[in-house]
Amino acid sequence: RKEVEQDPGPFNVPEGATVAFNCTYSNSASQSFFWYRQDCRKEPKLLMSVYSSGNEDGRFTAQLNRASQYISLLIRDSKLSDSATYLCVVTGGGNKLTFGTGTQLKVEL
């Protein structure tokens, strides 16, 4: 089983749509959870941290379910500029980040 598993997509959605991405992780000892965004051939950039209580940042909402080892990201009112690959990232006891393969989002007119 992969350490961090994501549907690679692509998700093609119209502008203004709501889209949700899911991620599962295999290591129950994972401690911290993040969503990063990666544009084509660029570096990963932190989108948001993910907390058990759920957290929201503008149009973005992240949820964590530790019992199911499941993380989600919801994007409301999609913009063209949201087109990117969304990376689910977890850490274990150390500081190293373990990345999923990413989910590609394409927002279209």
Partner 1 sequence: EPEVTQTPSHQVTQMGQEVILRCVPISNHLYFYWYRQILGQKVEFLVSFYNNEISEKSEIFDDQFSVERPDGSNFTLKIRSTKLEDSAMYFCASDRDRGSNQPQHFGDGTRLSIL
Q: Candidates 9-17, 55-63, 65-73, 98-106: pick the segment binding partner 1 (CB under 8 A).
A: 98-106
Pick between residue 47 and residue 78 the one whose CB is nearest to partner 1.
47
Give Cβ neighbours of residue 109 (< 8 Å, ≥ 6 apart).
Answer: 14, 15, 80
Pick between residue 78 and residue 102 the one whose CB is nearest to partner 1.
102
60 touching partner 1, by CB under 8 A:
no
Pick between residue 9 and residue 44 the one whose CB is nearest to partner 1.
44
**Residue whose pair of structure tokens reads 């009112």 in the numeric block:** 77
Distance of alpha carbon 100 from alpha carbon 4, whole angstroms = 5
Which of 103, 105, 104, 99 has the alpha carbon at shortest distance from 2? 99
Distance of alpha carbon 81 from alpha carbon 69, whole angstroms = 29
31 touching partner 1, by CB under 8 A:
yes
99 touching partner 1, by CB under 8 A:
yes
102 touching partner 1, by CB under 8 A:
yes
* Type of residue at 104: Q
Q: Hey, what are 43's tokens?
A: 């570096």
Residues of the shown chain interacting with partner 1 in the complex, contacts defined by CB under 8 A: 31-32, 34, 38, 41-46, 49, 87, 91-102
